[in-house]
Each structure stands twice: as structure tokens, then as C-alpha cells.
Amino acid sequence: MNRKKIGILFGGSSSEYEISLKSAYGIISHIDRKRYEPVLLGITREGTWFLYQGDIERIKDGSWYRQAACIPAVISPDRRFQGVVYMQDGEIKQIRLDAALPVMHGRLGEDGTVQGLLELAGIPIIGCGTKASAVCMDKDLSHRLASSVGIRVPKSKVLTIWGDREKALAWAEAVGYPIFVKPATEGSSIGISKVFGEKQLGQAVDIAFQYDAKVILEEEIPGFEVGCAVLGCEDPLLGCVDEIEVSGGFFDFQEKYTQKRSKIHVPARISAEKMKEIQEAAKRIYWVLGCKGFARVDLFLTPEGELVFNEVNTIPGFTPYSRYPNMMKQIGLSYGEVIERLIQTEVLS
């Protein structure tokens, strides 16, 4: 039986480059080689594209692009090819792809840019498409859409790099400290600050503007964060709900990948009824934002038991130990089975 050629894109010009390598390594090392032939496309921090044909352990340790096994390559936007074009031995060659799985976290990977290239090329995307990826990456737009279907969202104020800074102080004083200041389109809590008073606000806004021309100020939501993994399209599979317990501070970039002051509980320490409510809310958000394939929906659970939408990760961390696979593990799916089901959402559609 001919194996399906699956393009796996990793790396990228993002602050989450290293996380992408870890997630991609997990998928590449567990994909069913009897059914699929992975075509590895690595993108360096500088944005150089390579067809990688070397030892996948080099992806794990970050040295992949220093290898002779790297061949300059690109995704051809010409829909006649539907795949990868590269130069070898003085000849232009191509690999037609049956589907492509971007495993690129953050900007220029999770925000619709790569998805747009794949759609232009006519290559089926495993995961969310261009529009859903772009909307979910934008905290302001995703909140507006979630609110339209009755999901509570934090009170917020949007600032642009061209003005409105003077309005930040008045808004923060009206809402009350502490507040969060966030780049509107970054992932992994990069550029986010928790602000406790007027003196910190200006610096926090400056930090956020280093990552985005659009910044969002949000009220602090009491309680704790919960997440739900969603897998599929029209009738998606819902994973077990998890809970983030943080002892001091908030779940920032460093804490997400070291967990020195935090702990992930899966299943979450909540009632079965509340877990069902969270799963149903996650599914509604998944649908209204146009997601497909897979995503992780994150919400806050207040002390009063109310759900408040936080964000959707359209390409969540995907190592064997990441939150998404662990939520699916709790409902009986192994890491390899999750990858298989994910690929089938597009390859067999």
C-alpha cells in the first residue's frame, strides 16, 4: 500500500521556536511509518526553509539545520504541484504532499500565515485553516466572537501602537488592579505582565508593544484556569478537562515549561457536572471560531463556578507530556492514537 506523504513543518521565526522542535520531534517519532511517509520541512529562526532528511534526534537537540541533510526547499504556491519544490544535483525536484501538519507555535506559524500558504498551494491542512488560526491568535477578536454566543469574557481595553496609551491608565483605574497587559497576538504568555498599580502600567505596555502593534488590557479573573482538548471537525472528541494550580505569580512562559511553582491536575479537581459544562463550552467556542482538526480551549473557573473564556491554542504543545495529549490519554487515547486520529481528520475527509 502506498504511504500517504505528510508534510510536517517545524521551527519558524517565532519566540516559541524551541517548543516547536520538541512538539515536532514527538509527532515525527510516533507517527505510523507503515501508513505515512513524513516529509520534514524545517524553518530556521531566520526564516530559511529546508527539506530535512537527517537524524530526527537532531531536531530534538536543535542542531538539525547544521547538517548536510538539509536541502533548500519551499512550498510551491502553484496548485499544480501541491507540495515541496527543491533543488538537487542541478535539477528542480518536487514532492507532492497528501496533507501538511504545521507544528509551529506562535506568530508566523500558528496565526494563519503558514496556513494561508498551504491553502494557496492546495495542500490539505491537518488542523485549523487560515481564518480560524488568525482569529484564535488574536485575543481581542476571539473574545468578541466567543461573547457573541453567550460565553463570558474578561473586561478589556485594546491599545494600538499609534495612540490610546493615555486611555490605559483611566481604564485600569476604573476596572481596578491587578490587571494583565498582553500582546494581542502572541502565544505561551510571551510579553504578558501582571500589573498591580499605576507605576508598573507604562512599562508593561512598552513590553507588550515590543511583540505586537496591538495590546490588550484585561481584568484579572479570580479562580483558576482549566483547559479542554478538542479533536475532530463536525462532531469533535472532547478530552478530559485539566486544571492549572499556580502557587504565586501567574502561568507565564517560564512557568509553562518548568512548572516550578505550578502543577497540572488532569482530571481537574471539579465535579463531573462542572467538567461536562466546561467541555460543552469548549465545543461551542471551537465551533464559533471555526476550528477544525484540533485545538485546546482554555477558560477560567471562578470561585462562584462561572466560566470565563481565556484563549484557544490552535497548535497546542504536543510533546508526549504536554497538556493536550495528557487530556486525551485520560479518555483512553495513547499519544500515537491521538496523532493517528488527527491525521485522519484531513487525510480521510
Whether residue 173 is annotated as binding a ligand: the answer is no
Active site residue: 20, 133, 322, 346, which one? 322
Q: What mean pLDDT is predicted for residues 45-69?
A: 94
Whether residue 180 is annotated as binding a ligand: the answer is yes
Instruction: Look up 193 and say whether it is catalytic.
Output: no
At 21, list the grid cell. 522542535
Domains and CATH numbers, the chain: 4-125 (3.40.50.20), 136-153+221-347 (3.30.470.20), 156-219 (3.30.1490.20)
pLDDT single digits (tens) 169-202: 899 999 999 999 999 987 657 889 999 999 899 8
60-64 LR contacts (CB < 8 Å, sep 24+): 60/21, 60/22, 60/25, 62/18, 62/21, 64/21
Q: Are residues 180 and 193 in contact, defined by beta-carbon separation less than 8 angstroms?
A: yes
Instruction: Look up 15 and say whether it is catalytic.
Output: no
Whether residue 219 is annotated as binding a ligand: the answer is yes
Query: Can you tell me the distance from the alpha carbon of 101 to that of 294, in angstroms, rounded to the nearest whole number?
Result: 11
Active site residue: 23, 76, 133, 188, which one? 188
Whether residue 267 is annotated as binding a ligand: the answer is no
Active site residue: 16, 110, 186, 346, which one? 16
pLDDT single digits (tens) 231-266: 999 899 999 999 999 875 554 445 444 455 579 999
Instruction: Look up 63 and say whether it is catalytic.
Output: no
More confident residue, 162 or 345: 345
Whether residue 326 is annotated as binding a ligand: the answer is no
pTM for this predicted structure: 0.91
